[in-house]
Amino acid sequence: MNDRLRIAVVMMGDMSAPVTRTKYGAFHDALARRFELVGVHNAELQGFARLVNALQVARPNRRYWRQRMYMNVPAFRACSRRAAAYAKSLRGQADVILQDGVLFDMQAFSPGLPSVIYTDYTARLSARQPAAGRSPFTAREAQQWLAMEAAAFGRAAHVCTWSRMTRQAVIADYGISPQRVTAVGGGLSLGALPKLPTRHPDAPLTVLFIGAELRRKGGDVLLQAFVRTRAELPEARLLCLTRGPIPPELPLVGVEVIAPTWDREVILGLFRRADLFVLPSRLETWGDVLLEAMAFGLPCIGVSGQAMEEIVEHERTGLIVPPDDVPALAAAMTRLLRDPALRQTWGSAGRRRVETLFTWDKVVDRFAPAIERVS
């Protein structure tokens, strides 16, 4: 007799798409090792409903348009209805539903199976940093969205967050009892831990940055800081994976600009070429790419005030500097590039930290008590 809890996942995204499979595949595999995973359902709008939604929020700025496709009030309600219909079909087949993200409300239209929300961020946190471009609402829309998000948190049997920072925001901003919110972290999207690369001693000192949204990810700050580092270490190189065009006023001497890609072999090759990973984001909901860099034994530089402080241990696996601080970022890069022994020590510590805390099996272990308690 199979006595494992039966769990279904409802999310925004098609698991047959490479981007979704890369981001969530290892997570779902870990869930299936711990529970009986009875289904993964895409709550996104389909067909004519998707087309109507797209036309309603059409804007000349394509990035803004893509974001509005999901973050608008009618879409939230319509996706909630799709999720409710799926939940109704699961009666007798599942014990708990895991709702990934808060772009819909699993319980809004058909309360039934208990649901656990898993979220990396909140709309309230995004609204506090409007310049980062993650809060595309008018004042009235923002009020409606926040109310729907609060209702979703309130109806869920439990809320799991990626970071302690987001956990505190769910409690403080939405009035959810601390006993109903658990920070569980996020896992390494690579699946298996990679073999540690061996860098050729004659290879140029190389910094790596991966961030499709150049400004939100702090790539402009990095390019300005890299000029200062390169003045002291002229042989240094920067691999910069980002979506162009890069503003002409930003310096690119010693910089190799690489177009964004979901080709995992290209990404893994960049980690193997690097000595140091840098992510000076203005808004970072978690930091998956930091986990990937640490899995390759790279020391990392991040910024304060973000969830990445829960990934990178200052002076143990890397350095945390203030955001938008060009001199501090330059000094941190210079320090690490000049000290191969320190890079080795901190990179090894980062790899152990991923192995100990941030595989998806470890994350699911932290999930399990919440899921078992509400079933």
Angle at 239 between CA 237 and CA 245, to 5 degrees: 120
Contact between 230 and 263 (Cβ < 8 Å): no
pLDDT score at 2: 54
Mean pLDDT by 10 residues, the chain (375 residues): 84 90 93 96 88 70 67 91 93 94 93 92 90 74 93 97 98 97 95 88 94 94 98 98 92 95 91 97 95 98 96 98 98 98 98 97 95 89
pTM of the model: 0.93
Q: What's CA 206's distance to the chain center, in Å? A: 24
pLDDT score at 69: 72
pLDDT score at 1: 39
- 206-357 has the same fold as 6-187+359-374: yes
> Which SS3 state, helix, strand or coil, does residue 238 take?
strand
Q: Which two tokens stand for residue 316?
A: 């143990």
Cis omega (within 30 of 0) for bond into 245: yes
pLDDT score at 63: 64
pLDDT score at 137: 78
Q: Which CATH superfamily is domain 6-187+359-374 in?
A: Glycogen Phosphorylase B; (3.40.50.2000)
Domain boundaries, the chain: 6-187+359-374, 206-357
Contact between 123 and 340 (Cβ < 8 Å): no
Which residues fall within 8 angstroms of residue 194, CB to CB, at 6 or more apart? Answer: 268, 271, 295, 296
CATH number of 206-357: 3.40.50.2000
How far apart CA 111 and CA 154 sit, in angstroms, is 12
pLDDT score at 18: 84
pLDDT score at 110: 75
